[in-house]
A and B are shown apart, each in its own frame.
Chain A
């Protein structure tokens, strides 16, 4: 299992490199020459580190592929890490063109959150069920991830645009919504923090519950606030659950996921409140001054271009390749499975974005909000659809 060790070390290395690169991108603030092609020293180091990090992640990807015998895009952990990688890839391409260091300062943390989020899911190499045993798995999933990664950049840039442009001197609807977006990012961080903490403590509580005649056990690695529906706690000397998960949570192991969500929200809220206490102003307002040297026009253009580039890729991977595979595997290219519906919703949404922008002149803030919402829909499809709405894609 040496190869597998190399693989996970490589992923870890990539993560650390992205982290360091983010600091170097941060250091470019002092350069104050954002519209200039001549980059400072720190900018060069930053992009070099990013590229090395990306290469390390490629090492992770290939070694894992070799050791498992199938492309590592078959479960939630593998898919999300690949999405993080696609986001970095899209960033590197855009950087080569626009030479915009600040993009790295925002894109890399988002990518790191995604990768860290990914590693909270089981990282074991799992065998493929028959429906996944197809070359279309790699073709479909990698194209989707790449499309989503590029669209992710439009989210990052749209967010930067909003942070820069929204007037933070007065409290308004816009500042509130921007804070909500920031808060959601904190919830993700909260998820990572709380899961890592209890994992380090090796916390475990086992529940038994029976759908029908079978009895299933599930292991909680966080203290149970919400127990699985109709379950009994088996482990002793652990916290008793406060209530049971409502029955309409459909996905596999819904109780545990719901419990994790509760913990993430609690932890995220605490971290957010502490941050606000320290900063003594809105998070958006704090970040605003970082962006004062960037041209809003350029952000607007990058945001639009990444949608323009990502939309065809997403269509190809998320709808066309998906349909071809579904036709081969299930004999129907479209079945209105929740995941499919949400891919269609995503597609309609970005189609509306493009029409509003091209024909109705929605530029600037309006368009930036749309870019943020669009990525929200993508993440919804990735997380909520898997958590709450069961379907054919329940594996990832």
Chain B
């Protein structure tokens, strides 16, 4: 291990590019920052030794130095970028359209997109963003973030904290902005100093060397924003645990009370009313657009009551105590006791009850002989009619269809397309007539029925789909995002400007300046502070055109 002793007497750690004290370039290390053969010095990290570039011993050190490279970091970013793009070629599994003929991913991708779709599915790209390798990629970016930041922040912090205004001539003359003035007076220098102070530069002086510095805190911006990103990544990890994140869905029919899933039976929700509204077609403002696009929804709203349940064992009839009564709209979720209910889906027009009348088959006027109402939420098995008839509900299909064998069945549990088999016992008759009745269907069991059933009226209800969740990781995401924003703004909207002035004994004066961005602004600063003096304006020594080969 060799440390490098500079001619100014300062001992620099191995790998230093510019002496930490006087800034003199350390000859054999110029290649590290690519200064070799160049007129100008590369000032990034102020020429400090980045640890990882210097040691390469144990496995730990090797892993460390691998992740400490910005090049590796950028590669990881590029890989994540390409991977993210690939995931959008076809929709992700969760975005398979609801009206697709077959939503099974094993079928959907091939049938919609052919061979490419099949490959997409077989490579698992339909769930790319939750795949282990994508997560690993993001995690590796996180690792790189931590290590890169640690490796650069510590030496840079030291270097900028202990800045020596006394700089070697070769450091000054190889800055991008530089000028030499053959003779200058102390008055002129004082004027410059005064001007610099007005422009809020901090001034440090030793032995005729002067350092004016401004906006150093902007150099910490990158590290601050990286801390923000790390907090966001930690929040993302927390969110994968049930302690921090729970997300469930529930469908509630109007007038019904359902348990809120995921609450361990603690909460129940009642849907008092689901409101679906559309924009008024006659609204002058939207008339034209509405005539082209057709109906446009304006409001989805569920009026709910949330209950807290008290029961000793799951499944027991709970005692419900209302705790909140409110409306949930899109963009207006309901929060209570750390939970949130969000309006997510809806289903309009399920049947809640149907009223039938009986009339004689031969009666063309269909005069009612009696009627009864079937409550589809809780149908009675039998109905005694006023005229002495008895009707038995033999079968009920809430969502009627004919199955593969041509037998009536129900497709779902929900009364979307109800159908019934009734046995009608006319007065004093114990031989029933069988009728099959549904929406738009009325089938006579034997073809010889004397009585016929007709749908007299029906009531409908809507169903509201709610998301029930808590996300206790949100505050961490918020803090992370806020710190990130502070960091980028600090780093991007301010600049670290430094001006070095060396007034030699013979009256000649050397001025050099450096900034991490906005050279134009720095030049303007120097122009102003040297106004009314004979001090020469700095010259921009950089020729970009040469640098790009």
The chain A residues found within 8 Å of chain B, CB to CB, are 1, 67-69, 97-98, 122, 124-131, 133-134, 136, 165, 211-212, 247-248, 250, 296-298, 300-301, 304-305, 308-309, 311-312, 315-316, 320, 323, 327-333, 335-338, 341-342, 344-345, 348-349, 351-352, 355-356, 358-361, 363-366, 385, 389-391
Query: In the bound complex, how far is the Cα of B73 from the Cα of A355, in angstroms?
Result: 9
Query: In the bound complex, how far is the Cα of B329 from the Cα of A128, in angstroms?
Result: 14
Binary per-residue interface labels of chain B (60-101) against chain A in the complex, 1 for a CB within 8 Å, 0 otherwise = 000000000011011001101100110110111011010100
Q: Which A residues are CB-close (under 8 A) to B247? A: 331-332
User: Most chain-A Cβ atoms within 10 A of its Cβ — which of B329, B467, B488?
Assistant: B488
Q: Which B residues are CB-close (under 8 A) to A133? A: 298, 330-331
- Contact among A125, A247, A352 for B77, CB-based, below 8 A: A352
Q: Which A residues are CB-close (under 8 A) to B129? A: 336, 341
Q: In the complex, what's the smallest C-beta–C-beta distance from B338 to chain A, in angstroms?
A: 14
Q: In the complex, what's the smallest C-beta–C-beta distance from B124 to chain A, in angstroms?
A: 14
Q: Which 4 A-B pairs have the closest CB atoms?
A: A331-B342, A130-B330, A359-B70, A126-B289
Q: Which B residues are CB-close (under 8 A) to A364? A: 544-545, 547-548
Which chain B residue shows the least CB distance to A329? B331
Binary per-residue interface labels of chain B (503-520) against chain A in the complex, 1 for a CB within 8 Å, 0 otherwise = 000000000000011111
CB–CB A131/B517 < 8 A? no
Q: In the complex, what's the smallest C-beta–C-beta distance from B231 to chain A, in angstroms?
A: 13
Interface assignment of B296: CB less than 8 Å from any CB of chain A: yes
Which chain B residue shows the least CB distance to A211? B99
CB–CB B340/A331 < 8 A? yes
Q: In the complex, what's the smallest C-beta–C-beta distance from B168 to chain A, in angstroms?
A: 23
Q: In the complex, what's the smallest C-beta–C-beta distance from B447 to chain A, in angstroms?
A: 33
Q: Which B residues are CB-close (under 8 A) to A298? A: 520
- Contact among B492, B520, B547 for A363, CB-based, below 8 A: B547
Interface assignment of B42: CB less than 8 Å from any CB of chain A: yes
- Contact among B279, B286, B485, B544 for A300, CB-based, below 8 A: B544
CB–CB A165/B517 < 8 A? no
Q: In the complex, what's the smallest C-beta–C-beta distance from B218 to chain A, in angstroms?
A: 11
CB–CB A305/B488 < 8 A? no
CB–CB B88/A165 < 8 A? no
Q: In the complex, what's the smallest C-beta–C-beta distance from A229 to chain B, in angstroms?
A: 12
Query: In the bound complex, how far is the Cα of B289 from the Cα of A133, in angstroms?
Result: 17
Q: In the complex, what's the smallest C-beta–C-beta distance from B489 to chain A, in angstroms?
A: 5
Q: Which B residues are CB-close (under 8 A) to A361? A: 34, 42, 44
> What is the predominant secondary structure among interface residues of chain A facing chain B?
helix
CB–CB A131/B331 < 8 A? yes
Known: A328-B331, A361-B42. A130 touches B297 (CB 8 A): yes
* Contact residues of B between 448 and 492, Cβ < 8 Å to A: 467, 469, 471, 474, 477, 481, 484-485, 488-489, 492
Which chain B residue shows the least CB distance to A214? B99
Query: In the bound complex, how far is the Cα of B279 from the Cα of A127, in angstroms?
Result: 7
Which chain B residue shows the least CB distance to A384? B88
Q: Which A residues are CB-close (under 8 A) to B518? A: 301, 305
Query: In the bound complex, how far is the Cα of B88 from the Cα of A357, in angstroms?
Result: 28
CB–CB A315/B285 < 8 A? no
Which chain A residue shows the least CB distance to B489? A312
Query: In the bound complex, how far is the Cα of B520 from the Cα of A387, in angstroms?
Result: 42
Query: In the bound complex, how far is the Cα of B545 from the Cα of A363, in angstroms?
Result: 10
Query: In the bound complex, how far is the Cα of B367 from the Cα of A200, in angstroms?
Result: 63
User: Most chain-A Cβ atoms within 10 A of its Cβ — which of B94, B469, B540, B548?
Assistant: B548
CB–CB A165/B545 < 8 A? yes
Q: Which A residues are CB-close (under 8 A) to B113? A: 248
Known: A126-B293, A130-B330. A355 touches B91 (CB 8 A): no
Query: In the bound complex, how far is the Cα of B298 from the Cα of A133, in angstroms?
Result: 8
Query: In the bound complex, how far is the Cα of B44 from the Cα of A97, in angstroms?
Result: 26
CB–CB B286/A341 < 8 A? no
Q: Which B residues are CB-close (under 8 A) to A358? A: 44, 222, 516
CB–CB B492/A331 < 8 A? no
Query: In the bound complex, how far is the Cα of B279 from the Cα of A328, in angstroms?
Result: 22
Known: A336-B129, A348-B84. A359 touches B77 (CB 8 A): no
CB–CB B283/A312 < 8 A? no
CB–CB B285/A312 < 8 A? no
Q: In the complex, what's the smallest C-beta–C-beta distance from B53 to chain A, in angstroms?
A: 13
Q: In the complex, what's the smallest C-beta–C-beta distance from A246 to chain B, in angstroms?
A: 10
CB–CB A365/B296 < 8 A? no
Query: In the bound complex, how far is the Cα of B333 from the Cα of A364, in angstroms?
Result: 50
